[in-house]
């Protein structure tokens, strides 16, 4: 429930990004790995035939598959792997019973580790090699870490994503955007602290296994520490840690309900918890729907603005005036090929060219370009082209705020149509809307 109503987890679950897959695969590895650990533990109720070194083999294979999928999903999986190893070691070190069982089952654990790594390696290799069609991809999966190391340190075009060490804490605990509205997932943070404290106890008021809670607690703290120390920060990088916080928050909520005295006190605790979940759900709805592209939304980071679909509709209207409807040529010009997600929004157009500088030769009837390129475009049009051979262009964004379309915050676009095409469009629009209507866009 807390994971489902977390504004951050709900908001980014709608994004087509690798981090959400990484969180899902990590959760799968947690669940299957823990079931394997439980299968290895002595249990009087266990089926007698499920004994020996193969106990829990199915869960082990599934855990290995999920770990392989983690590696295939995102290179930052190595941070989760490190946190998982340290968390498992800490849970083992803090439990004398667990250490004793591990020593007694050392051959089985060794075999299990080999199977786990083997399955993970096979699954990862299959995906990176496109199921063996491109073996070079396996080596590329290792080479990718050099690029990530540079980006994590803030080199190159990653400098825009450099933030202070407390960025994630501020983002999740108390954020006040430009519009003045406050956002907070403090309910999850507080309940996670309670959950970690409950895990420090032996079984009793908390039904959660102390070893699992300690593992998740160390995993959460280490993930937060590592990601906070890395200069390169985007909100979705911390999804894995926050998912662990939501799991621990569930432990904390259950603990509070169980320790509260029966009657009015327990009812009050339950009502406070319901209010906290309702507040989270309301924020999740705001973030995902009513304020999904609002600058005040803490999770709307480098997001596509509402101008982009409006611009795409206008370009499609222009394209529809020529025979064949989609035959009009469009050129999109952005430095460093920074035009995403325009390829998606213009996917229905058959003739779209993508450029990082104003191309030589004849320009297309429809031009979309970064605002910073407009002066060079004007020089090319009026200085570099002899009189009589110049094509006049009409501004398509006169009715947009500031005369530009915002691709994402602080990234502005200009759009132009060749005068002959614009005249055709104006005539067709006048026919459709009546002669009294203004034909400006």
Question: What is 307-332 written as a DSSP string?
Answer: HHHHHHHHHHHHHTTSTTSS---EEE
Q: How much is the average pLDDT of 372-385?
A: 82
pLDDT tier for residue 79 given thresholds of 50, 70 and 90: very high
Burial class (CB in 10 A: 0-12, 13-18, 19+), 154: middle
Q: By C-alpha distance, which of 360, 359, 373, 351 is closest to 421? A: 351
- Do 263 and 314 reside in the same domain of the chain? no
Q: How much is the average pLDDT of 182-194?
A: 96
Do the beta carbons of residue 362 and residue 329 sit within 8 Å?
no
Mean pLDDT of the chain: 88
Q: What is the pLDDT of residue 428?
A: 82
* Cα-based distances in Å from 274 to 1, 5, 267: 11, 12, 10
In this structure, is the dihedral angle defined by the CA atoms of residues 162, 78, 235 and 303, taken in order, positive or negative?
positive
Residue 440 lies in a domain: no
CB atoms within 10 A of CB 45: 4
Burial class (CB in 10 A: 0-12, 13-18, 19+), 49: exposed
pLDDT tier for residue 385 given thresholds of 50, 70 and 90: low
- Phi, psi at 42, each rounded to 5°: -65, 130
Residue 300 lies in a domain: no
- Do 55 and 109 reside in the same domain of the chain? yes
Name the residue with tokens 């580790």: 113
- How many domains does one find in the chain? 2
pLDDT value at 49 more than 60: no
Structure tokens at 376: 């060079």
Structure tokens at 391: 């094509």
- Do 323 and 249 reside in the same domain of the chain? no
Structure tokens at 251: 């432990």
pLDDT tier for residue 39 given thresholds of 50, 70 and 90: confident
Q: What is the pLDDT of residue 86?
A: 97
- Do 63 and 123 reside in the same domain of the chain? yes
* Cα-based distances in Å from 159 to 58, 76, 153, 155: 45, 18, 9, 6
In this structure, is the dihedral angle defined by the CA atoms of residues 152, 154, 159 and 165, taken in order, positive or negative?
positive
- Do 157 and 262 reside in the same domain of the chain? yes
Residue 301 lies in a domain: no
* Cα-based distances in Å from 371 to 163, 355, 361, 367: 27, 14, 21, 12
Q: How much is the average pLDDT of 230-236?
A: 94
| Candidate from 116-120, 184-188, 197-201, 270-274 with smallest mean pLDDT | 197-201
- Do 335 and 230 reside in the same domain of the chain? no
pLDDT value at 434 more than 70: no
pLDDT value at 80 more than 70: yes
- Do 273 and 312 reside in the same domain of the chain? no
Q: What is the pLDDT of residue 202?
A: 61
Percent of the chain with pLDDT over 70: 90
Rg (C-alpha) for the chain, rounded Å, is: 28
pLDDT, one tens digit per residue, over 309-358 is 999 999 998 888 876 655 789 999 999 889 989 999 999 988 899 998 88
Q: How much is the average pLDDT of 77-103?
A: 90
d(CA 21, CA 19): 5
Strand pairing report for 352-355 and 330-333: parallel
pLDDT, one tens digit per residue, over 138-154 is 999 898 888 788 777 76
- Do 249 and 347 reside in the same domain of the chain? no
- Do 251 and 318 reside in the same domain of the chain? no
| Candidate from 148-157, 178-187, 276-285 with smallest mean pLDDT | 148-157
pLDDT tier for residue 205 given thresholds of 50, 70 and 90: low
Domain boundary among 256, 290, 324: 290
Q: What is the pLDDT of residue 2?
A: 95
- Do 332 and 265 reside in the same domain of the chain? no
Question: Which residues lie closer than 8 Å to 267 by C-beta, 6 or more apart?
Answer: none
Q: What is the pTM of this model?
A: 0.82
CB atoms within 10 A of CB 1: 13
Q: What is the pLDDT of residue 436?
A: 45
Q: What is the pLDDT of residue 66?
A: 98
* Cα-based distances in Å from 80 to 69, 106, 316: 13, 25, 44
Tell me the DSSP string of 30-79: HHHHHHHHHHHS--TTS-TTS-GGGTTHHHHHHHHHHHHHHHHH-TTHHH
Residue 311 lies in a domain: yes
- Do 59 and 146 reside in the same domain of the chain? yes
pLDDT value at 53 more than 70: no
Question: Which residues lie closer than 8 Å to 108 by C-beta, 6 or more apart?
Answer: 40, 52, 53, 55
Residue 298 lies in a domain: no
- Do 279 and 351 reside in the same domain of the chain? no
Q: What is the pLDDT of residue 203?
A: 57
Structure tokens at 13: 């679950």
Alpha helices in 164-231 (DSSP H): 167-173, 186-199, 210-229
pLDDT tier for residue 157 given thresholds of 50, 70 and 90: low
Q: What is the pLDDT of residue 42?
A: 61
Structure tokens at 148: 């990530």
Q: By C-alpha distance, which of 156, 148, 142 is closest to 76? A: 148
In this structure, is the dihedral angle defined by the CA atoms of residues 234, 238, 243 and 248, taken in order, positive or negative?
negative
Domain range spanning residue 196?
4-8+12-290
């Amino acid at each position: 429930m807390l994971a489902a109503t977390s504004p951050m987890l709900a908001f980014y679950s709608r994004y087509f990004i690798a981090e959400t897959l990484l969180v899902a695969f990590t959760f799968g590895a947690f669940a299957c790995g823990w079931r394997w650990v439980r299968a290895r533990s002595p249990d009087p109720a266990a089926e007698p035939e499920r004994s020996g070194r193969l106990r829990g083999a199915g869960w082990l294979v599934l855990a290995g598959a999920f770990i392989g999928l983690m590696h295939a999903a995102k290179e930052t999986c190595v941070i989760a792997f490190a946190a998982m190893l340290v968390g498992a070691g800490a849970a083992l070190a803090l439990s004398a019973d667990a250490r004793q069982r591990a020593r007694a089952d050392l051959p089985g654990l060794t075999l299990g580790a080999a199977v786990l790594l083997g399955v993970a390696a096979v699954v990862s290799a299959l995906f990176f090699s496109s199921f063996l069609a491109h073996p070079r991809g396996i080596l590329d999966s290792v080479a990718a870490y050099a690029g990530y190391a540079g980006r994590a340190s803030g080199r190159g075009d990653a400098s825009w994503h450099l933030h202070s060490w407390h960025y994630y804490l501020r983002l999740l605990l108390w954020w006040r955007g430009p519009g003045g509205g406050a956002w907070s997932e403090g309910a999850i943070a507080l309940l996670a602290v309670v959950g970690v404290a409950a895990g420090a106890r032996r079984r009793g008021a908390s039904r959660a296994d102390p070893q699992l809670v300690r593992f998740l607690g160390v995993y959460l703290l280490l993930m937060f520490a590592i990601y906070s120390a890395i200069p390169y920060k985007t909100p979705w990088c911390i999804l894995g840690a926050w998912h662990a916080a939501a799991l621990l928050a569930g432990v904390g909520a259950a603990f509070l309900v169980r320790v509260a005295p029966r009657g009015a006190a327990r009812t009050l605790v339950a009502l406070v918890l319901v209010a906290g979940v309702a507040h989270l759900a309301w924020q999740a709805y705001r973030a995902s729907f009513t304020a999904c592209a609002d600058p005040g939304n803490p999770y709307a980071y480098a997001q596509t603005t509402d101008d982009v679909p409006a611009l795409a509709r206008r370009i499609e209207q222009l394209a529809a005036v020529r025979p064949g409807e989609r035959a009009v040529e469009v050129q999109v010009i952005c430095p460093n090929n920074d035009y995403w997600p325009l390829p998606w929004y213009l996917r229905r157009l058959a003739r779209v060219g993508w450029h990082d500088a104003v191309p030589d030769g004849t320009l297309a009837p429809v031009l979309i370009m970064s605002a910073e390129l407009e002066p060079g475009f004007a020089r090319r049009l009026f200085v570099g082209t002899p009189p009589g051979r110049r094509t006049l262009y009409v501004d398509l964004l006169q009715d947009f705020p500031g005369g530009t379309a915002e691709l994402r915050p602080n990234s502005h676009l200009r759009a132009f149509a060749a005068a002959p095409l614009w005249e055709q469009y104006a005539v067709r629009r006048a026919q459709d809307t009546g002669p009294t209507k203004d034909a400006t866009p």
